[in-house]
Each structure stands twice: as structure tokens, then as C-alpha cells.
Amino acid sequence: MAASVSIWSDPSVDWTATPLCLLRSTWDYHERYAEFMAWLDRVAAVTVVRNDPAMVRWSAHKSYLRDLAERGVPVVPTRWLRQGESHTLDEVTSAVGWRDVVIKPARGAAASDVLLVRGLGSGRDAGQAHLDRLLAANDVLVQPYLQSVADQGERALVFFESRFSHAVRKKPFDTKLSIDAGSPRVDVSEEEIAVARAAIDAAPGKPLYARVDLLHDDTGRPRVNEVELIEPALYLSAHAPARVAFADAVERELAAIAS
């Protein structure tokens, strides 16, 4: 069966002509969220979309980290701030004793609008301005900066049909959008795989593909930082067998659709 690449926002595309729409690089969806979700509903009405729209909606807002925590999955500690609220950064961080923090929107991709604020120096004013700007338009997460970002790096674990494929060490705060981003493959522990799989199992459905990004806390325990079910880079060039595994997963999906 032939495959083709189409842009989700191209009005000339006939989505009824394909049995399967595979979301892969919709990296502007968070900037056009309402438009993207309306498109997703229209396309899902005429063909099969993977990952499933319910999982896409769940993954599109990082409040899923709260869902994971409630299910006992270890996640990066997070303060949750609602759009339109007014908060001082000192108030948010002093209550939990965090000095270096990461501020990020609840909807975003590729470290877009993510800011690291260190200590209590002049960068604090820039951090407050960033927080104010984000809260005007978004729900916001504030998290502690974990030293493992520099020491061990963020580990991105890739799964196909909930089966672990490979992992890479991501570049910290990398805003470059690419298929592989030059991140090296790394070995991960059974504990890391188990934590990532627990996060996937908590999603509303079984994803065809998934990437779970982990950080280690100060005790060395792996914690979920993100669950990517919409448009993750899968780092296929870092692990050649992954290309076959992904293609096989897609073929099985097509066979299931046809049966």
C-alpha cells in the first residue's frame, strides 16, 4: 500500500481517500489548538486516526501528569497554575523550597516557551515576566530544575504498540524540530522501562506509538516528565531496528482496519 505525506491544515486534502491517518509532525498544533482539534474530529469521522483522538486530547494538555500521579506513577513535582490567575514566582517556589525552576505552558511542543530560572538574581525578573505572559493565555506548570538534566540527561523512551523499542538522551531545552535531533541512543534500566510503561498504560487507549520522557530526581528515582502521543520525534536513526518495528506496527494496524 502506498503512503503519502499531507499537511493537516491543507484544505485540499481528501482524508476519505486513506484508510489510516498517522499523525507524525503536527508541531504547530499547540499554536492552533482549537483549529487542530476541530480538524481531528472531522478526520476521525471519515477515517482511522492514530494515535486515537481520545489519546491525542489527553496528551495535548500536561494535566495528564496529575492523572499519572493519582495512579501512583512517579512524575516530576509540579505546581499547577491556571490561566488568568496572578502569581508571583517567589510565592509559587518558596512554598515548596525550590530555587532553580522550569516554567512551561501546559500546551506546547519542542520546549516552546519553556524557561529555566536560576536562583534569586536578575533572572528572577525575567522569569516573573515570562510567567505573567504565559498565564495570560495558558495554564502553566512550574517544576524544580533537576540536576540530572545536566548529569544524566533527559531519557526519551520509545514504544511501539506498548512494546519498548529504544531510548535516547535528549538535548536539554532543545527547541529544534527535527525527526531525530542528533540525540544518542542510551541503555536504560528495567525500572525506567517499567515507569514509562506505567505512564503509557494510564493513557485512555493503547497507542500505536509513544514516547515517554524521564528525568531522575535527587534520589536517582526515574520520574515522568512528558508523555508524547501526538507528534513525537521517535529517533529512528538512533536504533535501526526501530524503523522495521514501526513499519510492522503500522502494517498490523492496516490489517486490523481491513479485517
Kindly give the pairing relationship between strand 154-160 and strand 209-216.
antiparallel
Whether 232 has a pLDDT exceeding 60, the answer reads yes
pLDDT tens-digit map of 155-199? 999 999 999 999 999 877 655 555 555 689 999 999 999 999 999
- pLDDT for 106 equals 95
pTM over 0.85: yes
Whether 43 has a pLDDT exceeding 80, the answer reads yes
- pLDDT for 192 equals 98
Domains of the chain: 1-76+146-259 (3.30.470.20), 79-144 (3.30.1490)
pLDDT tens-digit map of 71-111? 999 999 999 999 999 999 999 988 889 989 999 999 987 66
CA distance 34 to 84: 18
Quote the distance between the C-alpha of residue 202 and its chain's center: 14
Q: How many Å is the maximal CA-CA distance in the chain? A: 62
Task: Work out the end-to-end distance of the chain between its first and last CA atoms, rounded to an integer number of angstroms.
Answer: 15
- pLDDT for 109 equals 72
| Average pLDDT along the chain | 92
How would you class 106 by CB atoms within 10 Å of its CB: exposed for 0-12, middle for 13-18, buried for 19 or more? buried
